Amino acid sequence: MSIILDGKAVAETIKDTVRKEVETTGLNPGLAVVIVGENPASRIYVNSKKKDCAECGIRSEEFALTADAGEEKLLAVINELNNRPDIHGILVQLPLPKGYSEQKVIQAIAPEKDVDAFHLMNVGRIMVGDYAFLPCTPAGVMALLDHYGIDPQGKHCVVVGRSDIVGKPQAMMLLHRHATVTICHSRTPDLGAITRQADILVAAVGKVNLITADMVKPGAVVVDVAMNRDENGKLCGDVDFPGVEPVASYITPVPGGVGPMTRAMLLCNTLASAKAAIDLRA
Ligand code: NAP
């Protein structure tokens, strides 16, 4: 039997802290959420981000553009938001429709308002460990480990997946916390031989049942970042939860693990940005 890393509950305590800090400091953090086109998944994500903000006393403003608005119009909106002192965080919901360069759009966001931490300036700052923001998903994983007193120092952490938004920053954050880190990806032969060495295993791939019990060292901490749908349309991760749960010491559920932590981290980043803006003016 393992201990469930209850991201839903931990995220609620983080949201409470954010709410209290907004109340007591009198800060008035503002998040701009930019959505382009009619992607139904993006609409769900944007609505939940706005709801989270409302629950914590963070102002959110939505900027909805039609898919055919064009890159120039989108860049003009971002430019306007960059110059608004009452907006502390700018989030452009990805993916963008065809015809938009995501890189160009992300690089147009002022780095000090880039609460997703996707701007190259922020990516670089994470590399050297001197950052203003951390990307929400890997930061959420770190906050969850911290909450349960799981210290990566000296541990062998295996991260499966090397995307720019999850796998790579996750590996870097674990490295900054003095873990020995191995990154695996689609060209890694004999994945199980490596995952079996992990004291802390982070799966961030997007493949149902990729990680089975025989690939996990007994007593390992297993963090499942993925959000997949199984053959019945049910939300699930990369980890075969019923098989792995008895082998692991700690494990995240899907849903209710990393997902709520990701959402909570966006609120923390927006609050941090509002605080930094005050400090700059002081
Ligand atoms: P991604 O950009 O598609 O990256 C997937 C990574 O998995 C790639 O590095 C790929 O390797 C690797 N991979 C693919 N097949 C593999 C295999 N058989 N063995 C080992 N590695 C393999 O995905 P992402 O954006 O990082 O997201 C990963 C998962 O996390 C998805 O399920 C996504 O929905 C989920 N997610 C969840 C949250 C959350 O809040 N919980 C946030 C973001 C993402 P190559 O680089 O070699 O192609």
What pLDDT band is residue 109 in, cutting at 50, 70 and 90? very high
Q: How confident is the model at residue 279 (pLDDT cuts 50, 70, 90)?
A: confident
Active site members? 49, 93, 116
Residue from 158, 160, 183, 186 to probe ligand 1 pocket by mutation (most atoms less than 8 Å from CB)? 186
Residue 43 has pLDDT above 80, yes or no: yes
Ligand 1 mean position, distance from CA 94 (Å): 15
- Structure-block tokens of residue 195: 């995952």
Q: Which residue's CA lies nearest to atom 47 of ligand 1?
A: 186
Please, what is the Cα angle at 159 between 106 and 43, to 5 degrees?
Answer: 40
pLDDT digits (tens, 9 = 90+) for 166-215: 999 999 999 999 999 999 999 999 999 999 999 999 999 999 999 999 99
Closest to 245 (Cα-Cα) out of 269, 263, 226, 218: 218
Q: Determine contact, residues 228/235, Cβ cutoff 8 Å.
A: yes
What local confidence, expressed as pLDDT, does residue 1 receive?
85
CA distance 158 to 139: 16
Which among 10, 2, 3, 269 is positioned nearest to 144, based on CA atoms? 10
Cα dihedral 104, 108, 112, 114 in deg (nearest 10): -50
Separation between Cα atoms, residue 241 and residue 159, nearest integer Å:
17
84 CA to centre of ligand 1 in angstroms = 35
Q: What is the pTM of this model?
A: 0.97
pLDDT, averaged across the chain: 97
Band of pLDDT at residue 282, cut at 50, 70 and 90: low
Nearest to 140 by CA among 229, 202, 89: 202
Q: Give CA torsion, residues 46, 51, 54, 55, to 10 deg.
A: -140
Quickly list DSSP for 157-171: EEEE---TTTHHHHH
pLDDT for the residue 278:
80
Question: What confidence tier does 273 reach under pLDDT thresholds 50, 70, 90?
Answer: very high
pLDDT in tens, 117-153: 999 999 999 999 999 999 999 999 999 999 999 999 9
CA pair distance 274, 282, nearest whole angstrom: 13
DSSP structure class, residue 99: T
d(CA 267, CA 262): 9
What is the per-residue pLDDT for 172? 98
- Sorted by sequence, the CB contacts under 8 Å of residue 78 that are 6+ apart come out as 34, 90, 92, 105, 108, 109
The rounded radius of gyration (Å) of the Cα atoms in the chain is 19
Query: Which residues lie with the beta carbon below 6 Å from any ligand 1 atom?
Result: 137, 160-163, 165-167, 184-188, 191, 204-207, 210, 225-228, 258-259, 262
Q: What is the pLDDT of residue 189?
A: 98
Tell how far the Cα of 144 is from the centroid of ligand 1, in angstroms.
19
- The SS3 call for residue 4 is strand
Average pLDDT score over residue span 100-126? 98
pLDDT value of position 184: 99
Cα separation, 156 vs 175, in Å, equals 10
Q: Average the pLDDT over 96-112 and give the result.
A: 98
Q: For 46-81, what is each residue's pLDDT tens digit?
A: 999 999 999 999 999 999 999 999 999 999 999 999
pLDDT (0 to 100) of residue 119: 98
Q: Tell me, what's the pLDDT at 281?
A: 66
